[in-house]
Structure 1
Amino acid sequence: MSTHALQSAFKANKTAFGVWLTAGGVFHARTVAQASPHLSWIVIDCEHGLIPLVPGAAESIAAIHGATPNGGPSAVVRIPATGVSASTSWQIKYALDAGARGVLVPMVSTAEKAREVVSDCRFPPAGRRGFGSPFAHGNWGVSVPEYLATANDNISVMVQIENQEGVENVEHIAAVDGLDVLFIGPYDLSISLGYPTPNPDPHPAVEQAIQKVLQAAYGAGKKWYVEAAIFSIKG
């Protein structure tokens, strides 16, 4: 069975180092996955990267999970649609049906949207995810019954706080059951609040907003990370 290094780091309360994959290709994804034994996760960026959700993300997931025989980083997909107004449900379904260990949803600004995201990541009765993929279980190295029995507890759910509304609602978002990580996008957050983008540090007012998100994450027992050149999830 392929390992879920990111979730293992969560359970051990350790910092989880990860990288961003913005260009597609099986060999590229495999090379990144083999780059360091200290990587816990790789985000396949289908929002701003050059990787299509289908079939690019699916091929990258398979390459990452099969790159190291003793278990490597967890493949997480950042879906293309934002959480502001677009429907993210079908894109989450595509990512999970391809075998992703988690999803990252951009621009989540309300607790209602966060609950929708969590529901789309869980099979009933915990959520509303449908079953039918012939690939997800194989990508995890388990049987179909094993996948159905373990998927709800082994999919990491992450949302991005990137605008003023999200900051205003962050305590409610952080309190959503089943949500694992609050991701802070300092560039979009700076733009949303009317300040220059970080160069290299964010504007003091943006830093205050970031600290508010971090405190909300701590208060709710959730993990957090701030977008940077090297990514690490903390909690």
Structure 2
Amino acid sequence: MPAPHNPFKAALKEGNIQMGCWLGLADPYLAEVSAHAGFDWLLIDGEHAPNDLRSIIAQMQVIAAGKSHAVVRPVIGETWMIKQLLDAGAQTLLVPMVEGAEQARELVAAVTYPPHGVRGVGSALARASGFAGIPDYLTTARDEICLLVQVENRKGIAALDDILNVEGVDGVFIGPSDLAADMGHIGNPGHPDVEIAVLDAMNKIVASNKAGGILTLQPGMQKKCLELGATFVATAVDVTLFAAAIRKSAQEAQSLRNGFP
């Protein structure tokens, strides 16, 4: 029996657009709600959200019961972090702050068992192998792991062509917010210069036959990236959705109260 099929990786390979949402509230109950909302993929954020390994596992477990695919973003692309997340059952990783081809090659090695990589062999203890219930896990796991790298500063943009030539990288995700900050436009990812840089990068990614991805809350930018051929696009963040809704509700409540003595 081989490793579980990764439908997200297959969809990207076939060029089927996958629409996603960012999960930063770090709560399995809310992740479960999101898993039944209709998104193709949900990003469990370990970089900027208050997640640890156990909270990430809990969210992966409830997402698995829905129709969305769990993508996990580690704090950083350290081999030991990647090893833990893969053993915990993550099949798709989005690694932040990738700045060059050598770093990308190290990430490929981190998701690959020896002799071709450096992933530690501990599958007997791992949720990923069904706790040793998948006999062929060690020989088939790499086929179902989807490695996405995040390019989000000028150094990464300058090295993009080299990164795209690294075999084993399935897709490249552009991070507009960090890129905007690095370009001198912090807090303004919609700046024309940033938009030009993002769209130019997306063109290169698509032309390389790797999957291109982005998180943007701007409908116009979402459409432009999709028109260029982006295949995994996140259009919402649970934190901002909840914050906007609860603030609106509070404002309505206060307005209602103000109509009374």
TM-score class, shorter-chain normalisation, is 0.7 to 0.9
Which residue of 53, 56, 69 corresponds with 1:74?
A: 69
Distance of 1:184 and 1:138 partners within structure 2? 33
Which residue of 108, 114, 134 corresponds with 1:144?
A: 134
The answer to whether residue 155 in structure 2 is matched with residue 165 in structure 1 is: yes
Aligned residues of 2:89 and 2:126 also touching (Cα < 8 A): no
Query: 1:2 Cα deviation (Å)?
Result: 5.5
CA change 1:23–1:3 in 2 (3 A) is farther
Amino acid at match of 2:170: D
User: How is 1:36-75 mapped onto 2 (pairs within 5 angstroms)?
Assistant: 36=38, 39-52=39-52, 54-65=53-64, 67-68=65-66, 72-75=67-70
RMSD (Å) for aligned C-alpha atoms: 2.2
Aligned residues of 2:4 and 2:144 also touching (Cα < 8 A): no
What does residue 238 of structure 2 align with?
none
Query: 1:226 Cα deviation (Å)?
Result: 1.8
Distance of 1:148 and 1:227 partners within structure 2? 33
Query: 1:19 Cα deviation (Å)?
Result: 1.3
Which residue of 157, 182, 201 corresponds with 1:213?
A: 201
Aligned residues of 2:5 and 2:144 also touching (Cα < 8 A): no
CA change 1:136–1:190 in 2 (3 A) is same
Which residue of 168, 188, 192 corresponds with 1:178?
A: 168
Structure 1 unaligned spans of 5+: none
Query: 1:3 Cα deviation (Å)?
Result: 4.9
Which residue of 119, 122, 126 corresponds with 1:134?
A: 126
| Residues matched between the structures, number | 219
Amino acid at match of 2:10: S
Deviations 1:192-225 (A, max 9, x none): 0112433xx6222212221232122123211111
Q: Equivalent residue of 2:150, what SS?
A: strand
Distance of 1:32 and 1:98 partners within structure 2? 21
Distance of 1:35 and 1:189 partners within structure 2? 30
Which residue of 65, 79, 85 corresponds with 1:89?
A: 79
Question: Scaled by the length of structure 1, what TM-score is found?
Answer: 0.85
Q: Equivalent residue of 1:145, what SS?
A: coil
Distance of 1:166 and 1:130 partners within structure 2? 28
The answer to whether residue 21 in structure 2 is matched with residue 19 in structure 1 is: yes
CA change 1:168–1:11 in 2 (3 A) is closer
Which residue of 83, 101, 109 corresponds with 1:111?
A: 101
Deviations 1:72-125 (A, max 9, x none): 2221110012x5xxxx11111111111001111111001000111111011123
Aligned residues of 2:13 and 2:211 also touching (Cα < 8 A): no
Amino acid at match of 2:231: K
Aligned residues of 1:164 and 1:193 also touching (Cα < 8 A): yes
Structure 2 unaligned spans of 5+: 233-261
What does residue 247 of structure 2 align with?
none
CA change 1:164–1:181 in 2 (3 A) is same
Amino acid at match of 2:12: F
Distance of 2:27 and 2:215 partners within structure 1? 24
Query: 1:189 Cα deviation (Å)?
Result: 0.1
Distance of 2:121 and 2:40 partners within structure 1? 27
Please identify which structure carries the higher helix content. 2
Query: 1:23 Cα deviation (Å)?
Result: 1.9
What does residue 32 of structure 1 align with?
34
